[in-house]
Amino acid sequence: MKKELLFHPKSIAVIGASRESDKLGYLVLANIKRYGYKGKVFPVNPKADEILGYKCYQTVHHVPENIDMTVILIPAPFVPDIVEQCGIKGIKTVIIITAGFKEIGKEGKEMEDRIAEIAKNHNIRILGPNCLGFIDTYQKINASFAESMPEKYDVAVFSQSGAVCTAILDWANLNGIGFSRFVSLGNKSDINENDLLLEWENDKAARVILGYLEAISNGPEFIKRASKITEKKPLIILKAGITSAGAKAAASHTGSLAGSETAVSAAFKKAGIIRANSLEELFDYAKVFAYQPLIKGNKIAIVANAGGPAVMTTDAVIESKLELAKLSPITTAYLERKLPPIASKKNPIDVVGDAKADRYKVALEATLSDKGVDGVIVILTPQITTEVEETAKIIVTLSRRYNKPVVAAFMGGKRVEAGLKILNDNKIPAFNFPERAVRVLEAMYQYRNYLNERPNYKVAYFDKDKDRVSYLLGQAEAADIYNLGDSMDSLASKILKSYGIPVAKSIMAKTAEEAAEAAAVIGFPVVLKITSQDILHKTDVGGVKIGLNNKVEAKEAFKEIINSVNAKMPDARVEGITVYHMVRKGQEVIVGAKRDPVFGPVIVFGLGGIMVEVLHDVSFRIAPVSLREAEEMIEETKGSKLLKSFRGGEAYDIEAIADTILRLSHLMIDFSEIEEIDINPLRVNERNKGVIALDVKMVLKENKSD
């Protein structure tokens, strides 16, 4: 069943329509009229008969016809009653432009909640409150107080900030880019980004989607919706508010590394969203994705009329994920024939300072038709004989003939203005500086790469003993223990084992004698570790002793640990000391998971010890993680070089790590009562010899939600 669309009204009522031209209630009505809305318009204002030529009504109930959409502009305290009226009238979409709700504090929040309840009762969808309104160039609706109407173009926009809406519209006017749907989300009391992603998924008018967000409403839904979009078309989002206190907090264990910015970044990666880091990037990416064909690879040709700028552009290309294309012998031969001797015929091509438009034509044609070239950057500096506008026109003409992206940097000020205008008007993304030209092609390449990898992002399923984990979690709950650590004779270990993650054999000892016996059973050398819910970092309190070779040493170590812990953390509740066999070979890594309040489980991977704790060399993904994603997680860390055959050493069992990541991901998905898991360290053996968890910490939700 196709869901009804939210923003396709046959009639609009404006509640709070005004006759005074400086009032929002006038501006919105005027915009609706001015930009040619063809549906029916009903101003509602008990004190007026007619505004802007429209017959005016006392209330919505006085309107003798159906109303599809309402725009509300009356003061906040009156809004709830009016929404109630809208509900009774049977209006389905209500845009509340009025401010003074959640954003002003508790009182406003209560009013907003009341409206949400009323809306729910009447099955009304609300946009806002505290928003700029809604614009649609395809339907010729401007139900906003924006000062202008964008051009018609198949780019859709949503923004959580009204001010950013204003800036985008104003910028678009200057830069000649147009939009189809333009939605100001405001406080998102009901309609949010996920509704729009659903609405626009199959909307041809939304060929490219831009968004500005400060908070994400429903993480898993967002990832799902966004993934569906990005399968078909680019979704470019600027996420502000990335430096929240949470993300800034110093990270001392796996858990806190997965702060909210981390989760956002992992979520964007998972969903294939093109992330803009500034409004400038949002605009630049919008242009290249809206105007140019998607790049097929990362091989770039540069055509410039000067050495210096060619060098700068090359620098930027080499530092990006792009590469300089190697031109084919045919291309080079053609350039040799057509360009003067002094010109450089290798990539970057330098057509030299006295080049007129014809030389650009030669170089651009040659590179665009070279199969080894995926995209071209044209650089122009305004020298004496440079034909700025003619060159721009040639770029426009040639770029239309080939299915490869072309971008330009015309470097300068007044002398290049007209050229830049020709380019932008004709859908060639053009900039003042080469770095931005490089950056937009890099963004395209990254999206292309995502599309190529996407089919590999399939989540596999395993044999797993779900029932046993339920039983074990039940035990923990019964005992009122939420910080499993390696306590309760390693409940956490048992849970891991039930999901196929091998765990090192261990025995907990309560006395020095028990420790010595346990060591003998497990086999020397052994490691002794303090076991306590209250001790997070065992080494810090002298809670770990390694390399113990006989019973005497084990006994002695037990005592030393107890003394040290008693001295450093006298209040810690100690359950005992766990004895492990000491594995000398292999590499230690950390695999962990933490439940993010917005996006759900975030899985983390990193090499053990200082690599995580000092260097924060870790990678993240949102669960469920596919095998390819798990592999990517491992590859992304710098330390992963140590897992490969580094300097002639042995190669480790990377596949077993990936497998562990998948199993952990399943565990987190299957049991929402698990808040956090930290396998630290997971010992990785040589290739084909597997992994083994040497220590695990698990935190459960204190108030079980289901």
Subset of 517-576 contacting a copy of itself (CB under 8 A): 537, 539-542, 568
- Identify the H or E element spanning 672: none
Spatial contact of 147 and 203, defined as CB atoms under 8 Å apart: no
Nearer to a copy of itself, 139 or 432 (CB): 432
Angle at CA of residue 241, ends 237 and 244, nearest 5°: 140
Cis preceding linkage at 502, omega within 30: no
242 binds a copy of itself (CB under 8 A): yes
Binding mask 11-30 for a copy of itself (x = CB under 8 A): -------------x--x---
Nearer to a copy of itself, 261 or 670 (CB): 261
Which segment (3-11, 169-177, 288-296, 650-658) binds a copy of itself by CB under 8 A? 169-177
Nearer CB in complex with a copy of itself: 336/513: 336
| Residue 610 binds a copy of itself, judged by CB under 8 A | yes
Residue type, 512: A
In the complex, minimum distance from the CB of residue 211 to a copy of itself, in angstroms, rounded to a whole number: 12
Q: Which one of residues 520, 546, 598, 615 is an interface residue with a copy of itself (CB under 8 A)?
A: 615
Counting contacts by CB under 8 A, is residue 474 touching a copy of itself?
no
Which of residues 79, 266, 271, 416 is near a copy of itself by CB under 8 A? 416
Q: What minimum distance in Å lies between the beta carbon of 310 and a copy of itself?
A: 9
- Report the residue number, 145 or 445, with the smaller CB distance to a copy of itself: 145
Q: At a CB cut-off of 8 Å and minimum separation 6, what does 705 contact? A: 672, 673
Which listed range, 114-122, 485-493, 643-651, 698-706, lies at the site for a copy of itself (CB under 8 A)? Answer: 643-651
Cα separation, 176 vs 208, whole angstroms: 16
Query: Least distance from C-beta 238 to a copy of itself, angstroms?
Result: 8
Pick the binder of a copy of itself from 641, 651, 702, 704 (CB under 8 A): 641
- Closer to a copy of itself by CB, 348 or 405: give it: 348
Nearest CA-CA partner of 414 in 426, 395, 432, 393: 432
104 contacts a copy of itself (rule: CB under 8 A): yes
Return the residue of 356, 415, 464, 628 that touches a copy of itself, per CB under 8 A: 415
> Nearest-CA neighbor of 223 among 263, 177, 166?
263
Q: Which is nearer to a copy of itself, 27 or 430 (CB)?
A: 27
Given 241, 474, 559, 704, the residue binding a copy of itself (CB under 8 A)? 241
Nearer to a copy of itself, 274 or 507 (CB): 274
Residues numbered 306 to 325 that lie near a copy of itself (CB under 8 A) are 306-309, 311-312, 314-316, 318-319
Q: Going by DSSP bridges, is the β-strand pair 40-44/11-15 parallel, antiparallel, or unpaired?
A: parallel
Do 694 and 683 form a contact (C-beta atoms < 8 A)? yes
* Site for a copy of itself contains 348 (CB under 8 A): no
- Interface stretch with a copy of itself, choices 52-60, 471-479, 606-614, 624-632 (CB under 8 A): 606-614
Smallest gap from Cβ 662 to a copy of itself, in A, equals 26
| One residue of 647, 688, 703, 705 binding a copy of itself per CB under 8 A | 647
Tokens of 13: 């009522």
Touching a copy of itself, residues 287-306 (CB under 8 A): 305-306
Residue 139 CB, nearest approach to a copy of itself (Å): 24
336 — phi, psi (to 5°)?
A: -60, -40
Work out whether 240 is an interface residue with a copy of itself (CB under 8 A).
yes
Token digits for 616?
């924060």
What's the CA dihedral at 191, 196, 197, 201 to 10 degrees?
140
Using CB under 8 A as the binding rule, whether residue 164 contacts a copy of itself is answered as yes
CB of 704 to a copy of itself, least distance (A): 34
Among 611, 587, 593, 580, smallest CA distance to 678 is for 593
Residue 335 identity (one-letter amino acid): L
> Phi then psi for 602, rounded to 5 degrees?
-110, 125
With CB under 8 A as the contact rule, the residue among 201, 358, 517, 617 that binds a copy of itself is 617
Closest CA to 368 of 262, 285, 467, 295: 295
CB burial string 313-347: b at 16+ within 10 A, e below: bbebbeebebebbebeeebbebbeebbeeebebeb
Point out which span in 173-181, 458-466, 570-578, 672-680 binds a copy of itself (CB under 8 A): 173-181
Distance CA 139, CA 400 (A): 29
Pairing outcome for strands 178-179 and 155-159: unpaired
CB 582 within 8 A of CB 527: yes
User: Any contact of residue 183 with a copy of itself (CB under 8 A)?
Assistant: no
Here the tokens at position 242 are 């990335």
The Cα 280–Cα 584 span in angstroms is: 52
Contact 231, 656 (CB under 8 A): no
Out of 113, 280, 453, 489, the only residue in the binding site for a copy of itself (CB under 8 A) is 280
Which of 58, 539 has the CB closer to a copy of itself? 539
Locate all alpha helices (DSSP H) within 292-356, ordered by sequence. Answer: 307-319, 329-338
Interacting residue with a copy of itself among 55, 248, 401, 466 (CB under 8 A): 248
Which residues within the stretch 352-391 sit at the binding site for a copy of itself (CB under 8 A)? 353, 381-384
Q: Can residue 418 be called a binding residue for a copy of itself (CB under 8 A)? A: no
Contacts (CB under 8 A) with a copy of itself, residues 619-638: 638
Least spacing, CB of residue 614 vs a copy of itself, in Å: 5
Contacts of 634 (CB under 8 A, 6+ apart): 605, 619, 640, 643, 654, 657, 658, 661
Q: Is 178 exposed, middle or buried (0-12, 13-18, 19+ CB in 10 A)?
A: middle
Map residues 184-223 to x or -, x wherever contact with a copy of itself holds by CB under 8 A: ----------------------------x-x---------
> Are 146 and 135 a contacting pair, CB within 8 Å?
yes
Out of 21, 123, 243, 703, point to the residue binding a copy of itself (CB under 8 A).
243
Task: Answer whether the bond into residue 129 is a cis peptide, omega within 30°.
Answer: yes
Region binding a copy of itself by CB under 8 A among candidate stretches 71-79, 153-161, 419-427, 595-603:
153-161
Stretch near a copy of itself under the rule CB under 8 A, chosen from 394-402, 472-480, 612-620, 625-633:
612-620
Pairing of strands 587-596, 674-684: antiparallel
